[in-house]
Structure 1
Amino acid sequence: MKDKILHKAAEMFLNLGFKSVTMDDIAHELGVSKKTIYTHFSNKTALIKEVTDAVFEIVCTGINVICSKENNPIDELFEIKQFSMEYLKNEKTSPQYQLQKYYPKIYATLKSKQFDIMQDCVVENLKRGVKLGFYRDTIDVDFISRIYFHGIIGLKDIELFPLTQFSMNNIMGFYLEYHLRGICTEKGIHKLNEVITNNQPEKNAK
């Protein structure tokens, strides 16, 4: 039952937001009493903590699988972006922003773990891109990896990028192109243009 609660809660939080979904809502969707949920989770905060941990592990596993293929570094970044958007439901409610606003302690812990994972992944991507001639050999890998992470976090600020005006899928694509055009060699730009052309329907999806 605990796994069923986690699965349903994760689905509802990602689709509707951490703030708006109540324990009553989750119980109703599962067809159980709220008391049943409290048997496994002492309160909503405890449930959110376990949900975010579980989602983080699933997303990390998926990203690690993508990175283990050691594909072209530009293809790799677009594949990670596509996987993340599909799993996180295109972040239509900006769950990470809501987490930051209403559950700051959980958000701070999650952000620290995200940085550690993303730093390793992006640094490896940058080094491989330089080695293969897709990225300029003059870039500062540590700086670029950190500014990339900072930008990804910033895109989730719905005050800066209102969801009524910006699709998360679109702005993630715009940011990825922005990032790559700043570090690519001529060879890399050629590959980037090819990938963008091939992903055009996805890029324009709302």
Structure 2
Amino acid sequence: MKEKIIEKANDMFLNLGFKSVTMDDLASEMGMSKKTIYTHFQNKTKLVEATTDHLFCSICDGINGILDQKHDPIEELYAIKAFVMNHLKNEKTAPLHQLEKYYPHIHQGLKTKQFEIFQDCVVDNLKRGIEKGVFRKNIDIQFISRIYFIGSVGIKNKNMFPEHMFPVGKLMDDYLEYHILGITTEKGRKILNTLIKEDQI
């Protein structure tokens, strides 16, 4: 039952927002009493914490599955982007904004864990890209991995990137292309151009 509550809460939070969904809403949606939910979660904060942990683990498992497939490094970045976008309901802005505003401690903890996983993943991707000749040999791997993470977080700032001007899907595509173009070789650029064309079909 606890898993079912987490899964339903996850779906509702991502679609409607962490603040917008109440325990009453969740109970009604699941056809159970609010008291039943409270037997598993002391309060809504505990539920939000469990839900974000569950989501984080699911995304990590999915990314690890992609990494195991040993794609070309540039193709791998596109595969990860597509998976994450799909898993986060195309990165709807309201839920993430509400998580940061109303549950800052949870948001910060999640961000720290994201960086740790992101760093390992991107550093490995950059090293393999250099070995395969699709990324330039003279790039500073530690600098690139960190600036890429900061940018990934920064483009979610809706004051800087209002959604009516920067639709989320296109913004993510443009940022990934910007990242790759800054580090790629001629060989890598050919792969990138092919992926961009395939994305547009």
Query: For 1:1-206, what aligned pairs fall within 5 Å after superposition?
Result: 1-201=1-201
User: Partner amino acid for 1:96?
Assistant: L
Query: What is the distance in 1 between the residues matched to 2:93 and 2:117?
Result: 24
User: C-alpha offsets along residues 30-62 of structure 1, whole Å, 9 cap, x if unaligned?
Assistant: 011111111111111100000000000000000
User: C-alpha offsets along residues 78-111 of structure 1, whole Å, 9 cap, x if unaligned?
Assistant: 0000000111110223423321111110011101
Q: 1:81 to 1:181 in 2, by over 3 A?
A: same
Structure 1 residues 86-95 or 189-198, which shifts more?
Answer: 86-95
Query: What is the distance in 1 between the residues matched to 2:9 and 2:179?
Result: 34
Query: What is the distance in 2 between the residues matched to 1:159 and 1:20?
Result: 21
User: Partner amino acid for 1:130?
Assistant: I
Structure 1 length-normalised TM: 0.94
Give structure 1 regions of 4+ aligned residues with deviation exceeding 6 angstroms.
none
Q: Identical aligned pairs, as a percentage? A: 57
Q: Secondary structure at the match of 2:12?
A: helix
Q: Secondary structure at the match of 2:191?
A: helix
Q: 1:97 to 1:3 in 2, by over 3 A?
A: same
What is the CA-CA distance between 1:159 and the residue it aligns to? 2.1
Q: 1:108 to 1:6 in 2, by over 3 A?
A: same
User: Partner amino acid for 1:10?
Assistant: N
Q: Does the 8 A contact of 2:16 with 2:94 survive in 1?
A: no
Q: Which runs of 5+ in 1 are unaligned?
A: 202-206
Query: How many residue pairs get matched?
Result: 201
Q: Which runs of 5+ in 2 are unaligned?
A: none
Q: Does the 8 A contact of 1:133 with 1:185 survive in 2?
A: yes
Query: What is the distance in 1 between the residues matched to 2:94 and 2:115?
Result: 18
Q: Does the 8 A contact of 2:5 with 2:37 survive in 1?
A: yes
Query: What is the distance in 2 between the residues matched to 1:159 and 1:41?
Result: 34
Q: Does the 8 A contact of 1:14 with 1:93 survive in 2?
A: no
Q: Does the 8 A contact of 1:15 with 1:93 survive in 2?
A: no
Q: Does the 8 A contact of 1:90 with 1:169 survive in 2?
A: yes
User: Partner amino acid for 2:53?
Assistant: D
What is the CA-CA distance between 1:156 and the residue it aligns to? 1.6
User: C-alpha offsets along residues 148-167 of structure 1, whole Å, 9 cap, x if unaligned?
Assistant: 00011112222222234332
Query: What is the distance in 2 between the residues matched to 1:177 and 1:143?
Result: 18
CA RMSD of aligned residues (A): 1.1
